[in-house]
Amino acid sequence: MNIRLYKILALILVFSMFTVSSCEEWIDPELNEDPDALTDVSMKSLLANSQFAFFFVMGDADMRGYSAAWTKHLRGADRQFLAVNNYNIGPGDMNNMWDSFYEDDLEGLQLLKQKAAEQESPHFTGAAKVLEAASLGALTDYIGPLPYSDAFKGESGVFQPKWDSQEVIYGTINTLLTEAISDLGTPAGENKVPLSGDIVYQGDVDKWIALAHSLRARYNMHLSMRGESDYGQAVSDLNNGISSLEGDFEMPWETSLAKANPMHQFVRERSGYMVDNDFFQNFIDGDPRKPKLYLGGASGPWGYWYQASSPVMFMDYPECMFLKAEAQYRNNNASGARASLKTAIQASLEKLGVEGGSWWTSLSSTIDGASGDDLLELIMEQKYIHDFGNPPNAYVDFRRTGYPDELFDNPNVGETPVDFPDRFPFPTDEIELNQNTPDWTTIYNNLWIFPNDHPEES
């Protein structure tokens, strides 16, 4: 550095010191504070915001549409959804979903947990942990490893958080749900701030506890392919879980397009991008639920799950009973599995407002005579039908059980046979901005929870 430049920098530094010290003496430090701007956010607002963000991203085309194309509930027919339907998806397709989870949902939950601890409200803490576990579960089942234990530390200078393996994330989910059950079980008299701002359960702590048990059973069962599921614990959790349709964890929307179900908005605004899949419609021929289980076009009519006010469902009573049937089957309780399967199907019919009639009489008889792999196939195929309303869930189940096995048939990808995708890619933003992002390599690299003939993730 030359002498002249050094002197100039020295003068700038002195002037800056004088200016700063002088400003501190005569400028009101509150001069730039907007008296109308919020300087704090209430816990009820944080909870409502995270719930809304969670259900919006779970119901949007990136989460619901992509998975529905791969589970053949729907079919991608135009633009990027035709590409996704043909297993052509890249990191750039994941940015919106990723940002919605991390910025709009999970980040707010960290602040909510902090405030709940400060204000001695274990009920708010518990609800935040349940929603956090659900968010991590949805993401990891799609993508695998995640930045979590080192995330949300920007104020501490951590801008490139390390990624946790999926095994660690699954352990975190279980811990969050176990702690949540304890937090939510705190007597009301010891909870300083009652749960409010809850747009799903309206502050009903018992429903949150049941949801936590149900989710703990779900992610326990997701480990079945690894041989690490505790089926007895899963049944126990489900016995304490969601016990009726009134406990379903889902969010309804409004009839105006701007406030409508996210996929309804998508269908109305991007006509023809996604359409009904002939495979699924043929799969449910004769099923009384078929008149309810379809997408519809830009001008309608729309099926049960795709109307303007249709709820976005993350977990419901029928799923709990399907899970219980599977757990009982895997725990060598075939009679219990048959009974739970029947309850699950009847709950599915009730949810959609249809009667089983002679179809149910025939299916009930088939269930009574089913055993071994045939019984498991019945459980998973009926769950697949119900999960028309929750395709991400069906995407998990197919990867871990192989049912319905027709999903192995690849779509119209030309003459070259292709395998079924085991995962979605990491988002471009993380790949480019976080040097700790692992190599995702290909959508055919399996996840830790789904060990098979593909290379496992690192």
pLDDT per residue, tens digit, the chain (458 aa), is 333 333 333 333 333 333 333 344 444 545 455 544 456 899 999 999 999 999 999 999 999 999 999 999 999 999 999 999 989 999 999 999 999 999 999 999 999 999 999 999 999 999 999 999 999 999 999 999 999 999 999 888 999 999 999 999 999 999 999 999 999 999 999 999 999 999 999 999 999 999 999 999 999 999 999 999 999 999 999 999 999 999 999 999 999 999 999 999 999 999 999 999 999 999 999 999 999 999 998 899 999 999 999 999 999 999 999 999 999 999 999 999 999 999 999 999 999 999 999 999 999 999 999 999 999 999 999 999 999 999 999 999 999 999 998 887 765 555 555 688 999 999 999 999 999 999 877 898 889 999 875 444 43
Domain extent for 445: 42-249+415-458
- Written as six digits, the tokens of 202 are 């309206």
In a domain, 174, yes or no: yes
In a domain, 360, yes or no: no
Phi then psi for residue 146, to 5 deg, are -145, 150
pLDDT for residue 306: 97
Q: Provide the 3-class DSSP secondary structure of residue 12.
A: helix
In a domain, 427, yes or no: yes
In a domain, 257, yes or no: no
Q: Is 330 left (phi over 0), alpha (psi -120 to 50) or beta?
A: alpha
pLDDT for residue 34: 54
Q: What is the pTM of this model?
A: 0.90
Pair 173, 197: CB distance under 8 Å = no
Other C-beta atoms closer than 10 Å to the C-beta of 301 total 9
In a domain, 380, yes or no: no
In a domain, 14, yes or no: no
pLDDT for residue 59: 97
**Residue 426: C-alpha distances to residues 34, 76, 95, 99, 422 (Å):** 39, 21, 8, 12, 13
Pair 185, 206: CB distance under 8 Å = no
pLDDT for residue 430: 94
Identify the H or E element spanning 250: strand 249-251
Total domain count for the chain?
Answer: 1
CATH number at residue 222: 1.25.40.390
Q: Provide the 3-class DSSP secondary structure of residue 356.
A: coil
CA distance 395 to 65: 11
CA distance 148 to 102: 10
